[in-house]
């Protein structure tokens, strides 16, 4: 799916580019925080246990030690500790909460000692300190083995275990990691809640920045939209835009210079050609009419003159339409709008259709006294063109419908006819000049390919519009929209 908005693309891209590093940073921070808290737990376990490994203690000592551990976390949230002690191969103490699935014998054996009381390899361990004397140089403590830390999961609970010892006893002290995991879960939830907010802020900031960056483009777009065929002399001022857009403005103004020059040349050519053709066509028509009068009735010369006069009439019609189209292109189409009785004009068009094609069924739906301003001569050209098309492109025994609909602020005239219809591939080019869907048919009906184009230009000059109704059906319908008030 394509995303139509450039600003939306920038906002989404910024969110994606920011979200990835944020997610990676969050994972690294979460892992660092977890490792830091886990190290803190390990230090706490070590500090709690090493003080009891300086001597060889009996089972009662370890029971008292476990009772004291219950008050380490305070009365509001006591810490959960478990304890297991072994002397040589004999178990001295095991906590009641010790996980049943955890066999202490499977825990790693310690063989490395911490300084400074590390015994020499191969020497027997020193004797335990004398119980009745304090620890001193004369009564040194036992060397302690380097502790090992590991995590064990059992019965839905996670325990952090510290395996410590001296040459005679092994101590396993563990604590429940539930509070730590709960804190990490709260941190994860907080991050997941803040991530959409942060990404939304990044996207909003990117949208704002892209909007500011595209503001000169929007101003250029508004300036370009105001340049029409009647205002090709307008140019875009370069001083109001950023330096990065100066070249774009310069190139666009140069393009407008070329476009204005080409447009004026084409308009002048159409107008000049139409004017220049008027005199020779008039002379030719007069000469042929004189020859027609002097030709014998029924002779080949008479038939030839009649055919040539018809062709000249077609050329004169093309010349008049080209002249009007060139005036419309230049915005100089002569308009003399006056209040026109549209009801009468449409009924006269329907009568013309009956006269041109008595074999067709002509229907009209026209309310009385519908008045709207228009140039009567130019309006008559539109109605004649629509009527002629409805007659020429119909089917034997077909129908033509004229429907005038007064609407708030405008009129709508719908002219429909039965027939073969307009092929889909010709509909987009129907109003192009000299476009012929069927050239041979145009030749038979006297069409020039300019009628619909001229009719639409006349409608637009009055502030209206002429279009082909895209609704599928058995009829071809042209819709003429016309303002019901003066546009001058």
pLDDT of residue 472: 67
The H or E element spanning position 153 is strand 148-154
Average pLDDT over residues 128-145: 87
Residue ranges with strand state E in 366-464: 371-374, 399-407, 410-418
The pLDDT tens digits of the residues spanning 431-458 come to 776 666 555 444 455 556 677 888 888 8
Give the 3-state secondary structure of residue 340: strand
d(Cα 66, Cα 51) in Å, to the nearest integer?
14
- State the pairing for strand pair 361-365/399-407: parallel
Return the bridge partners of 148, or none.
163
pLDDT at 218 exceeding the cut of 80 = no
pLDDT of residue 426: 78
Average pLDDT over residues 348-354: 91
The H or E element spanning position 278 is helix 246-294
d(Cα 8, Cα 445) in Å, to the nearest integer?
54
Average pLDDT over residues 393-419: 91
Q: Which of these, 450, 370, 376, lies nearest to 402 by C-alpha position?
A: 370
d(Cα 247, Cα 210) in Å, to the nearest integer?
20
Q: 473 versus 381: which is more confidently predicted? A: 381
- Confidence class of residue 149 from pLDDT cuts 50, 70 and 90? very high
What is the residue-averaged pLDDT of the chain?
81
Q: 215 versus 151: which is more confidently predicted? A: 151
Q: Which residue is associated with the tokens 């008292």? A: 64
Rounded to 5 degrees, φ, ψ at 120 are -75, 140
CA angle 198, 200, 206 (to 5 degrees): 105
The pLDDT tens digits of the residues spanning 363-389 come to 999 998 889 998 888 888 889 889 998
For 179-192, the DSSP string reads HHHHHHHHHHHHHH
% pLDDT > 90, the chain: 26
d(Cα 167, Cα 190) in Å, to the nearest integer?
47
The pLDDT tens digits of the residues spanning 81-131 come to 999 999 988 999 999 889 988 999 899 988 888 887 777 777 788 888 888
Give the 3-state secondary structure of residue 365: strand
Would the CATH topology of 255-329 be identical to that of 338-483?
A: no
Ranking 161-165, 345-349, 473-477 by mean pLDDT, the lowest is 473-477
pLDDT at 275 exceeding the cut of 70 = no
Rounded to 5 degrees, φ, ψ at 382 are -65, -50
Contact call for residues 468 and 427 (beta carbons, < 8 A): yes
Q: 207 versus 369: which is more confidently predicted? A: 369
Highest average pLDDT, of 270-274, 341-345, 470-474, comes from: 341-345
Contact call for residues 381 and 455 (beta carbons, < 8 A): yes
pLDDT of residue 434: 64
pLDDT at 488 exceeding the cut of 60 = no
Q: Which residue is associated with the tokens 């879960």? A: 185
Give the 3-state secondary structure of residue 409: coil
Q: Tell me the whole-structure pTM to 2 decimals.
A: 0.49
Contact call for residues 404 and 386 (beta carbons, < 8 A): no
Cα-Cα end-to-end distance for the chain: 46
The H or E element spanning position 81 is strand 81-87
pLDDT at 165 exceeding the cut of 80 = yes
Q: 373 versus 210: which is more confidently predicted? A: 373
d(Cα 222, Cα 208) in Å, to the nearest integer?
20
pLDDT at 251 exceeding the cut of 90 = no
pLDDT of residue 114: 86
Rounded to 5 degrees, φ, ψ at 34 are -65, -45
Return the bridge partners of 401, or none.
363, 416
Domain positions in the chain are 1-103+142-225, 255-329, 338-483
Name the DSSP letter for residue 145: B
% pLDDT > 70, the chain: 80
Q: Which residue is associated with the tokens 């209206």? A: 464
pLDDT at 18 exceeding the cut of 90 = no
Average pLDDT over residues 14-32: 83
What does the buried/exposed string (b/e) look like for 386-397 if buried means 16 or more CB atoms within 10 Å of the residue's CB? bbbbbbbbbeee
Query: CATH number of the domain at 338-483, please?
Result: 3.30.565.10
pLDDT of residue 414: 93
Name the DSSP letter for residue 120: P
Q: Which of these, 428, 328, 424, lies nearest to 378 by C-alpha position?
A: 328
Average pLDDT over residues 28-38: 92
pLDDT of residue 125: 82
Ranking 165-169, 300-304, 402-406 by mean pLDDT, the lowest is 300-304
Q: Which of these, 363, 382, 364, 362, lies nearest to 372 by C-alpha position?
A: 382
pLDDT of residue 89: 85
d(Cα 217, Cα 219) in Å, to the nearest integer?
5
The pLDDT tens digits of the residues spanning 37-52 come to 999 999 999 999 998 9
CA angle 485, 487, 488 (to 5 degrees): 125
Q: Can you state the percent helix, strand and coil of the chain, rounding each to 5? A: 50, 15, 30
What does the buried/exposed string (b/e) look like for 108-145 if buried means 16 or more CB atoms within 10 Å of the residue's CB? eebeebeeeeeeeeeeeeeebbeeeeeeeeeeebbbbb
User: For residue 131, what are the CA distances in angstroms to 52, 64, 127, 140, 461?
Assistant: 13, 17, 11, 11, 117
d(Cα 178, Cα 29) in Å, to the nearest integer?
20
Asked: is 255-329 a CATH 1.10.260.40 domain? The reply is no
């Amino acid at each position: 799916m394509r995303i139509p908005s450039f600003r939306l693309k920038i906002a989404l891209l910024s969110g994606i580019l920011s979200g990835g590093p944020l997610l990676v940073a969050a994972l690294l921070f979460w892992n660092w925080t977890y490792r830091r808290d886990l190290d803190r737990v390990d230090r706490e376990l070590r500090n709690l246990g090493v003080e009891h490994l300086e001597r060889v203690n009996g089972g009662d000592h370890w029971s008292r030690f476990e009772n004291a551990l219950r008050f380490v976390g305070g009365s509001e949230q006591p810490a959960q500790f478990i304890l297991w002690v072994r002397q040589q191969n004999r178990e001295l103490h095991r906590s009641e909460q010790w996980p049943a699935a955890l066999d202490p014998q499977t825990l790693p054996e310690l063989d490395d000692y911490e300084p400074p009381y590390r015994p020499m390899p191969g020497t027997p361990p020193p004797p335990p300190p004398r119980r009745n004397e304090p620890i001193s140089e004369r009564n040194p403590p036992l060397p302690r083995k380097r502790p090992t830390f590991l995590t064990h999961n059992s019965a839905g609970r996670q325990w952090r275990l510290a395996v410590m010892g001296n040459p005679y006893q092994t101590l396993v002290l563990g604590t429940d990691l539930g509070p730590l995991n709960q804190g990490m879960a709260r941190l994860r939830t907080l991050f997941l809640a803040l991530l959409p907010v942060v990404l939304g802020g990044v996207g909003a900031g990117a949208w704002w920045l892209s909007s500011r960056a595209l503001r000169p483009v929007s101003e250029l777009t508004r300036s370009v939209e105001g340049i029409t065929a009647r205002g090709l002399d307008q140019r875009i001022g370069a001083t109001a835009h950023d330096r990065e857009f100066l070249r774009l403005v310069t190139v666009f103004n140069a393009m407008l210079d070329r476009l204005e020059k080409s447009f004026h040349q084409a308009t002048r050519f159409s107008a000049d050609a139409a004017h220049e053709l008027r005199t020779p066509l008039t002379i030719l028509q007069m000469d042929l009419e004189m020859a027609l009068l002097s030709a014998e009735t029924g002779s080949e010369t008479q038939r030839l003159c009649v055919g040539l006069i018809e062709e000249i009439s077609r050329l004169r019609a093309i010349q008049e339409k080209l002249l009007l189209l060139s005036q419309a292109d230049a915005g100089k189409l002569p308009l003399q709008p006056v209040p026109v009785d549209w009801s009468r004009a449409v009924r006269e068009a329907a009568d013309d259709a009956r006269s041109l094609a008595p074999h067709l069924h002509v229907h009209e739906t026209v309310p009385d006294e519908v008045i709207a301003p228009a140039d009567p001569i130019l309006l008559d050209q539109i109605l004649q063109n629509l009527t002629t098309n409805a007659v020429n492109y119909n089917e034997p025994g077909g129908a033509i419908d004229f429907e005038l609909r007064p609407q708030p602020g405008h009129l709508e005239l719908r002219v429909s006819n039965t027939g073969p219809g307009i092929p889909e591939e010709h509909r987009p080019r129907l109003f192009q000049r000299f476009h012929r869907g069927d050239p041979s048919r145009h030749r038979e009906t006297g069409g020039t390919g300019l009628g619909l184009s001229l009719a639409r230009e006349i409608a637009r000059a009055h502030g209206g519009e002429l279009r082909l109704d895209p609704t599928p059906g058995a009829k071809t319908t042209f819709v003429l929209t016309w303002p019901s008030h003066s546009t001058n």
